[in-house]
Chain A
Amino acid sequence: MRPFAYARAQTADQAIASIAQWPDAAFLAGGTNIVDLIKLDIARPATLIDIGGLPLAAIDVAPDGSIRIGALARMSDTADHTAVRTGAPAVAMALNLSASAQLRNMASIGGNVLQRTRCAYFRDIDQPCNKRRAGSGCSAIGGDDRKMAIFGANERCIATNPSDFSVAILTTDATIHLRGPAGDRTTPFLGFHRLPDDPTLDTNIGRGELLTAVSFTPTALTRNSTYVKVRDRASYEFALVAVAAALDVRDGTIHDARVALGGVAHAPWRARVAEAALIGKPATRSTFAAAADAELRNAEPQRLNRFKIALAKNAMIRALNTIGGAA
């Protein structure tokens, strides 16, 4: 583990001003990702700016019902928050199905959104990886690609995004709040994560920006949602495939739908083809199966992960069945 300096920020502006002055610095929140990456010699910050004490841990519900999750809210606190559980059940479920209780007590929502891929080749500095070092190549292509992407990959990177939260929050029209040297800005959650056109970039966060909150407004759609996660062991494991789904069913007809997939792409994957195949149709198993078929028809599996297509279809059907008659 390389040495680094440490500074504890008292205010967000102090943290932002400091990282602007220190190009080799990184923010430290829960530490579950950055400390791991430093140990692996993947992240090499000269200074860690500890933002853990900033007043960004609150989960606030506004009079209009919108929910603002502070970036430093712990995964565990967010999962247990009544407004989150009722306003977006898929989000609470996804958080509780993530990592372990210890890690959920440490890890922040902001860090969860910004975490790096768990691709085994990214995590092994002896292997070429375009995400770690641009142009060095992708060891996953032609290697053990069982856990890799089936959507949106390219010849430079086939890694997947590991966040469950980022998949589930796509059942809402969530907004990301950022603060940087030029002030505050917001950006839609959808589109914040990138496909690997430039594999070194996971998201559209700007240099020196601090993610301060994620907000969303519960609706009839988001209140009727669920999260299905399929993995190699029953708990404490990343998704092979995950499905977040929300349905607004009125008189047996799907009025609105949201479906997102995890474990399948470099970004949380909004299943727009499936959504289009659901809206306006009767909320039946055959509709759900047709929607799943339509979405997965566009999948481009690697050598060893063709199984993810059937897995994703079945997980999507299960998720939609769970919520299909509830509204």
Chain B
Amino acid sequence: MPTLALTVGLEAPQLSAAAAAAVSVTVLRARGPNVVDVTLEVNGRPAKMQIEPRVTLLDALRERLALTGTKKGCDQGQCGACTVLVDGRRVNACLTLAIATEGKKITTVEGLAQGDQLHPVQAAFIEYDAFQCGYCTPGQICSAVGLIAEGRTRSDAEIREYMSGNICRCGAYTNIVAAVKAAAGHA
């Protein structure tokens, strides 16, 4: 949805003469705070919804689109369970406003497989038993996809450091590193 703008004069006594002369200022038109129409592109498909601007991408995915693969752990950017890819880069969906992702490509764990063909990272997590309870796993997998795209898989230490944004309270880290390494082609 394009942002509508309207032109108003701005009267601000602190404006310098030069700045004031240049000002024919466009003040934005705000959307919300009540529900607004938002269209996201999730896993290659447009997804229309009516949400308030305060709705996070995490809640939009889970509560509006029933894409519950993305998990809510801490909901404050400290655990990584909500990791998704936005324009190919891994981010925390809990600190991302859904409305701010209009026009961007969102990929969740549900969007990684090609039909019944698992994504190599998904397959590696199974092969290397890289989870126990599984709650952090979708975030781990999305994060690993981002990590491999970033090329940060040159050593176990590098994988550990650059996966540190994904907490696993079962402590499956050793096997997660093995799975990521295998998926990256360094096994």
Cα A183 to Cα B57 with chains together (Å) = 35
Q: Does A28 contact B (CB under 8 A)?
A: yes
Chain B residues whose CB sits within 8 angstroms of the CB of A28 once the complex forms: 97, 100
Cα A143 to Cα B62 with chains together (Å) = 39
Which residues A98-137 have CB closer than 8 A to chain B? 99-103, 105-106
Find out whether the CB atom of A14 lies under 8 angstroms from the CB atom of B165: no
Q: Known contacts A3-B33, A101-B143, A182-B16; is A48 also within 8 Å of B53 by CB?
A: yes
User: Number of B residues whose C-beta is below 8 Å from A?
Assistant: 52
Cα A233 to Cα B80 with chains together (Å) = 16
Q: Does A65 contact B (CB under 8 A)?
A: no
Q: Does A144 contact B (CB under 8 A)?
A: no
- A41 vs chain B, min Cβ distance (A): 12
Candidates B30, B100, B162; contact of A101 at CB < 8 Å:
B162
Q: Does B118 contact A (CB under 8 A)?
A: no
Chain B 90-129, CB within 8 Å of chain A: the 1/0 string? 1110011101100000000000000000000000000000
Find out whether the CB atom of B28 lies under 8 angstroms from the CB atom of A14: yes
- A181 vs chain B, min Cβ distance (A): 5
Candidates A31, A32, A39, A181; contact of B100 at CB < 8 Å:
A31
Known contacts A6-B31, A101-B164, A235-B160; 8 further A-B pairs (Cβ under 8 A): A13-B25, A21-B10, A21-B27, A28-B97, A31-B100, A36-B76, A100-B166, A103-B95
Which residues A76-94 have CB closer than 8 A to chain B? none
- A244 vs chain B, min Cβ distance (A): 19
Q: Identify which of A15, A32, A35, A46 gathers the most chain B CB atoms within 10 Å of its CB.
A: A35
Q: Does A18 contact B (CB under 8 A)?
A: yes
Q: Does A58 contact B (CB under 8 A)?
A: no
Q: Known contacts A4-B33, A10-B3, A31-B97; is A39 also within 8 Å of B27 by CB?
A: no
- A254 vs chain B, min Cβ distance (A): 32
Cα A22 to Cα B27 with chains together (Å) = 10
Find out whether the CB atom of A14 lies under 8 angstroms from the CB atom of B25: yes
- Name 30 A/B residue pairs within 8 A (Cβ), A-sorted: A3-B33, A3-B54, A5-B32, A5-B53, A8-B3, A8-B28, A8-B100, A9-B28, A10-B5, A13-B23, A13-B25, A18-B28, A21-B8, A21-B27, A35-B56, A38-B54, A40-B76, A48-B53, A100-B80, A100-B165, A101-B150, A101-B152, A106-B92, A106-B95, A106-B96, A182-B15, A182-B19, A235-B164, A236-B164, A236-B165
